[in-house]
Amino acid sequence: MSEPIRVLVTGAAGQIAYSLLYSIGNGSIFGKDQPIILVLLDITPMMGVLEGVLMELQDCALPLLRDVIATDKEDVAFKDLDVAVLVGSMPRREGMERKDLLKANVKIFKIQGAALDKYAKKSVKVIVVGNPANTNCLTAAKSAPSIPKENFSCLTRLDHNRAKSQIALKLGVSADDVKNVIIWGNHSSTQYPDVCHAKVKLHGKEVGVYEALKDDSWLKGEFITSVQQRGAAVIKARKLSSAMSAAKAIGDHIRDIWFGTPEGEFVSMGVISDGNSYGVPDDLLYSFPVVIKNKAWKFVEGLPINDFSREKMDLTAKELTEEKETAFEFLSSA
């Protein structure tokens, strides 16, 4: 058995965490021989609910869980972390402008970034889930200057999984038969689900998704909007946001960081841009195709980008630039 790793989940009394925590504890994310000290953080008014979550985790009798700590204190939660999964954020309320949402979340993620900087290991891997995820992740990274910015990523894997699934359903194959879809940009309705480079296994051989579907109008229309608006569709149907699928995507994202991506496959992840890849401005937290090895990600370089894709990629970069500017105004005055 390895030494235990310390894994933090924030917003731990919420419904995404409730779907996620069992997967962390049972070995399906970090491996069946990796003991875990699980740290649960939430705000003080949620401590009663968190106590119930703690009891349930104890009652699962999971052999890999060496300890479960429930707290509302940053110095306890962020101490010596190997992994931080930042799920908790201020949700958008009815009548709330995006600017109001950014202001509330800049405050939260500035505090959490500073706590990571002060208490966590410098090697900590930070995954931001709470929306607006890209800009929240950038805020946290900027507030933790002693931790490499490459250690921060935000979740666009749910969108990636949604895109794979839509293609698989259309072709009547398993989602596992579809690979190398890309989510470009923001985890918002401007994201661009791109299947120009995606492959699907049909009748035992790999073909391009465009070639397999022969339906350009669907791929450039309904497919894109259905992925962009899937979260809203789930809320409309369920009266609650995506929790099971979000938790599954978080698990996929972390497992790929921990164990690497399969040979010949890439995944979508919100990471810091360097200004040299795909015309995306420097210092944006933007979703790119990446490959991962030895817990380090690299851009998938050299994919040809057509005019249709370029326009979509620029549109979502513009939204992220505006978000960043608004957030940084608040960050400097917070």
Q: What is the pLDDT of residues 26-67, one digit of tens each?
A: 999 999 999 999 999 999 999 999 999 999 999 999 999 999
Let me know whether 145 and 163 are in one domain: no
> Any known ligand binding at 98?
yes
Residue 327 belongs to some domain of the structure:
no
Query: What's residue 241's pLDDT?
Result: 86
187/220 same-domain check? yes
177 has binding-site annotation: no
- For 307, residues 6+ apart whose C-beta sits below 8 A from its C-beta are none
Q: How many domains does the chain have?
A: 2
- Report pLDDT for 334: 60
- Is residue 115 a part of any domain in this protein? yes
Write down the pLDDT at residue 21.
Answer: 98
> What's the mean per-residue pLDDT of the chain?
95
The one-digit pLDDT tens for each residue of the chain (334 residues) are: 789 999 999 999 999 999 999 999 999 999 999 999 999 999 999 999 999 999 999 999 999 999 999 999 999 999 999 999 999 998 877 777 778 888 999 999 999 999 999 999 999 999 999 989 999 999 999 999 999 999 999 999 999 999 999 999 999 999 999 999 999 999 999 999 999 999 999 989 999 999 999 999 999 999 999 999 998 899 889 988 899 999 999 999 999 999 999 999 999 999 999 999 999 999 999 999 999 999 999 999 999 999 999 999 999 999 999 999 999 998 887 6
CATH number at residue 305: 3.90.110.10
* Residues in Cβ contact with 207 at an 8 Å cutoff, skipping those fewer than 6 apart: 199, 200
CB 27 within 8 A of CB 64: yes
| Bridging pattern class, strands 285-293 and 296-299 | antiparallel
pLDDT reported for residue 91: 81
**Residue 331 counted as domain residue:** no
Co-location of 43 and 131 in the same domain: yes
Dist CA 192 CA 186 (whole Å): 8
Strand partners, 8: 39, 84
Domain identity same for 137 and 251: no
Q: How close are the terminal C-alpha atoms of the chain, in Å?
A: 44
Instruction: Tell whether 129 is in a known binding site.
Output: yes
Which domain-ending residue is among 154, 172, 201? 154
What does the alpha-carbon distance between residue 87 and residue 104 come to, in Å, rounded to a whole number? 15
Q: Are residues 201 and 129 in the same domain?
A: no
- Domain finish residue from 154, 169, 194: 154
Q: Which one from 187, 197, 203, 253 is the annotated catalytic residue?
A: 187
What range does the domain containing 138 cover?
A: 5-154
130 is in an annotated binding site: yes
Tell whether 92 is in a known binding site: yes
pLDDT at 74: 96
Residues 228 and 289 both lie in one domain? yes
Q: Is residue 116 part of a domain?
A: yes
Give the pLDDT confidence of 205-214 residue by residue, as tens digits.
Answer: 999 999 999 9
Residue 333 domain-assigned? no
The two structure tokens encoding residue 71? 């707290």
Could you confirm whether 187 is annotated as catalytic? yes
Q: Give a yes or no: residue 24 inside a domain.
A: yes
pLDDT at 97: 74
3-state secondary structure of 92: coil
Q: Which residues contact 327 (CB under 8 A, 6 or more apart)?
A: 102, 105, 106, 135, 138, 139
**Residue 143 belongs to domain with CATH number:** 3.40.50.720
Question: What pLDDT was estimated at residue 92?
Answer: 74
Say if residue 189 is in the same domain as residue 302.
yes
121 and 192, same domain (yes or no)? no
Last residue within a domain, chosen from 118, 135, 154: 154
Residue 252 annotated as binding site: no
Is residue 328 in a domain? no
> Whose CA is closest to 269, among 158, 176, 165, 154?
154
Same domain membership, residue 54 and residue 20 = yes
Question: Do residues 164 and 246 share a domain?
Answer: yes
What pLDDT is recorded for position 43? 96
CB atoms within 10 A of CB 158: 25
Tell whether 326 is covered by a domain. Answer: no
Q: Could you tell me if 141 and 167 lie in one domain? A: no
- Do 104 and 166 fall into the same domain? no
